[in-house]
Amino acid sequence: MTTPTADIDENAPRIESKYEFVEYLASGGKPKTDWRIGTEHEKFGFLKDGLRPLPYEGEASVSAVLHALKDKFGWEPISEGEHLIGLQKDGASVSLEPGGQFELSGAPLEHIHQTCNEVGRHLEEVKQVSDHLGVAFLGLGFSPIWSLEETPLMPKGRYKIMRDYMRKVGRLGQQMMFRSCTVQTNLDFADEADMVKKYRVSLALQPLGTALFANSPFAEGRPNGYQSYRANVWTDTDPDRTGMLPFVFEDGFGFERYVDYALDVPMYFIRRDGGYLNCAGLSFRDFMKGELPARPGELPTLEDFKDHISTIFPEVRLKTFLEMRGSDSGPWDRICALPAFWVGILYDSHSLDGAWDLVKHWTPEQRETMRRAAPALGLKTPLPNGEGTLQDLALEVLKISRYGLKARGMLSTSGDDETGFLSELDLIAESGQTPAERMLRRYHEKWNRDLSHVFEEYAF
């Protein structure tokens, strides 16, 4: 989750009309030459001695890693009170998820070669400062051995508010907060019509993204019955702010309809006086009328709205760009593959049209059925209307994505285009075996059901 870097300006203009929020979302539209790629990934820190989760404070800790990155590599600090909670440099940031998961939010970059170089530099920096601390990082979609009770809470004010509210909605929200890791990419649109088409295609295809990147088959030291337990957790987190958003496919969908949806999602907090004011469950519409019980008579700023939409978690999220949110975190090559997959589909008009033709006839019920089946069944998930399985769809969509990447013609310094970043996904689709299924096979055979091996073979 993005870490705010400044307090709300008490003198900022106040918002009374939702159309100011509509204009804000629309301001993200830009010409194709200015479209960029932002990639985010999360990972679990652990102590090599004892394979315990990384605490916030101590000689070997989250705080120690952040301070070492700051001192050794020139990252600028982001603090909340006396606690260092993040870093920023050159348009990128490092932030902390609730259970200490490390997140790199990459800078907006032109092509996947740059993205993969950025990820590689970050992982190398983290490894350099972590090795002498006895710390390492793991690329999985869900915490494989630690219980919720063993997982630390990071000292960020918003997380206590969110944790307490999660206990009231759904069953698995705290599991999502503290024990899951994702990789996502943030992509641009030209205008409202382009946003709508990209939103519909990417939302319909998120179950495929879940299956191709499924990488979380363990929990509390044993198989959990899923290929992507992270994705399963999201199906029972908070129905008010998650899911497949059927209204996106309805006639008339656009920026205004999304704002209406966002304003009806219950609030978590507002930032005031250097901290977070608990507004969990309250109405942003009441806030716009000056009737927020926690701040009577006060109207919101645009920054309040930005904070609010950052606490909405559908499978694809709209800000001034689109966020693809349906995939498990994983190793370096799949972190690079995720943006390549979506860029090839969404950044070429022929690819976008081809992908839309594959999914446009699905009903809301069919899309939801696939979303709920994919975490367990992976690429064996049936498509609607007897059209095959997600493996069949993967093979077709990867062809479309490869075409789009080829058409972009973005070359590395050695003259390679971006299609090579799909190689790992090609192997997954052709074999029909998800990363989770591969891992489970190793668990039962090579590892002799000893999950300590995952910390050796899947650490960065």
Residues 6 or more apart whose CB falls under 8 angstroms from that of 315 comprise 203, 206, 234, 242, 243, 244, 245, 325, 326, 371
What is the overall mean pLDDT for the chain?
97
Instruction: Give the model confidence (pLDDT) of 10-24 as tens digits.
Output: 789 999 899 999 999
CA distance 217 to 376: 9
What's the pLDDT score for residue 6? 55
User: Where residue 8 falls among pLDDT bands split at 50, 70, 90?
Assistant: confident
What pLDDT band is residue 3 in, cutting at 50, 70 and 90?
A: low
Apex 232 CA angle, 231 and 233, nearest 5: 90
Q: What SS3 string covers the chain?
A: CCCCCCCCCCCCCCCCCHHHHHHHHHCCCCCHHHCCEEEEEEEEEEECCCCEECCCCCCCCHHHHHHHHHHHHCCEEEEECCEEEEEEECCEEEEECCCCCEEEECCCECCHHHHHHHHHHHHHHHHHHHHCCCEEEECCCECCCCCCCCCCCCCCHHHHHHHHHHCCCCCCHHHHHHHECEEEEEECCCCHHHHHHHHHHHHHCHHHHHHHCCCECEECCEECCCCEHHHHHHCCCCCCCEECCHHHHCCCCCHHHHHHHHHHCCCCEEEECCEEEECCCCCHHHHHCCCCCCCCCCCCCHHHHHHHHCCCEECEEECCCEEEEEEECCCHHHHHHHHHHHHHHHCCHHHHHHHHHHHCCCCHHHHHHHHHHHHHHHHHCECHHHCCEHHHHHHHHHHHHHHHHHHHCCCCCCCCCHHHHHHHHHHHHHHCCCHHHHHHHHHHCCCCCCCHHHHHHCEC
- Report which residue type is found at 387: E
Predicted confidence band of residue 262 (pLDDT cuts 50, 70, 90): very high
Residue 4, pLDDT score: 58
Interatomic CA distance for residues 214 and 210, integer angstroms: 6
* For residues 226-239, average pLDDT: 98
How do beta strands 316-318 and 322-328 pair? antiparallel
Task: Determine the Cα–Cα distance for residues 53 and 62; give it in Å rounded to an integer.
Answer: 10
Residue 9 in this model has a pLDDT that exceeds 90: no
CA distance 217 to 369: 20
Q: What is the mean pLDDT of residues 235-239?
A: 97
Q: In the predicted model, is pLDDT for residue 329 greater than 60?
A: yes
Q: How do the domains of the chain map onto residue ranges?
A: 18-265+312-457
Distance CA 47, CA 39 (A): 26
140-183 pLDDT, tens digit each: 999 999 999 999 999 999 999 999 999 999 999 999 999 999 99
pLDDT attached to residue 332: 94
pLDDT surpassing 80 at residue 268: yes
Write down the CATH number for the domain with range 18-265+312-457: 3.30.590.20
In the predicted structure, residue 42 carries a pLDDT above the cut 70: yes
pTM: 0.97
Q: Are 330 and 141 in contact (CB under 8 A)?
A: yes
pLDDT band at 248 (very low <50, low <70, confident <90, very high): very high
Q: Residue 284: phi, psi to the nearest 5?
A: -70, -30
Q: Which residues make Cβ contacts (< 8 Å) with residue 93, sequence separation at least 6? A: 2, 3, 78, 86, 87, 104, 105
449: left (phi over 0), alpha (psi -120 to 50) or beta: left
- pLDDT given for residue 31 in this prediction: 98
Question: What's the CA dihedral at 262, 258, 42, 419 to 10 degrees?
Answer: 180
* pLDDT band per the 50, 70, 90 thresholds, residue 326: very high
Q: Is the pLDDT of residue 274 over 90?
A: no
Q: CA 340, CA 351: separation in Å to the nearest integer?
A: 13
Distance separating alpha carbons of residues 246 and 287, to the nearest angstrom: 26
Centre a 10 Å sphere on the Cβ of residue 390 and count the other Cβ atoms it contains.
Answer: 27
* pLDDT tens digits along 332-360: 999 999 999 999 999 999 999 999 999 99
Structure tokens given for 183: 């990789």
